[in-house]
Chains A and B, each alone.
Chain A
């Protein structure tokens, strides 16, 4: 799968993957995820339909998110325990990066 290489560069998640995981902490559908990412990043990060589709399918395959319902013919996704673990690891990694950067640049966190 082509996307695996993109998602796991040096253990870091891509921004798109990370935001999708956060967007499905409460069950959300494709359109909801798209809007969530755009709103939360003030339009800095926009997920195109092809990118979103690829990322969701990859996360489903990895078992980090799951399909929970099919009501009204709209598919809803929710994060799994495994996915939450991944998010925790990523938060720690980002915190670590920030701490180092703040120390070096002399900015107080």
Chain B
């Protein structure tokens, strides 16, 4: 078994491309974890698709996985980006403001679908309407996070580091700036994704009539 450390942020397509490159090297995905992908050598070729599954509950996800299995499609649960922060199997979701207890929703925001390469193209959604509503679902999620971060950013900028938490003022200043840089990085990443999705949705809408 070969282990690869790999983190993809908001770029789901990049992850797809990478997985499909691995299969061309004769490797087949067998397991995923938060930061790693596990492969085994395989003679057969496969096709991979990564689906955004954050809107599905644990039960819905299990049902969907069973349905896919009947179609001959294997699936792996995968976390989005670095995975969520959770404590005792409870994860806080800033979008709904709820802590999620269901293990299915913790770090399985994505679903990797695997199909034997039979020479036919592999698409999850094949009607224009389905493609649009799928992309809109992702965009809504990104927009909610973007909004959350944009509200948090001024608070972060205005707040003076409070003494007492950590005594060194210099350390606090570094700490604050580091968080600021990460926040701006994520805001930009999300913005790029949102623009990309909007262009894709617009192109699809033009196809309709």
Contact = CB atoms under 8 A, between A and B. Distances in A.
B111 to A, nearest CB: 10
Contacts, number: 55
Contact of A74 (B68, B70, B113, B133): B70
Given A2-B133, A6-B130, A50 B125 contact: yes
A52 to B, nearest CB: 8
A48 B123 contact: yes
B70 A47 contact: no
Contacts of B70: 29-31, 74-75
B: contact size bracket: 20 to 34
Interface string B112-124: 0100000010111
In this complex, the interface size class of chain A, counting residues with CB under 8 Å from chain B, is 20 to 34
Interface of B: 51, 64, 67-68, 70-73, 113, 120, 122-127, 129-130, 133-134
Interface of A: 2-3, 5-6, 14, 16, 29-31, 34, 46-54, 74-75
Given A29-B70, A48-B124, 13 more contacts: A16-B127, A30-B67, A31-B71, A34-B71, A47-B126, A48-B122, A48-B125, A49-B71, A50-B134, A51-B124, A51-B125, A51-B126, A75-B67
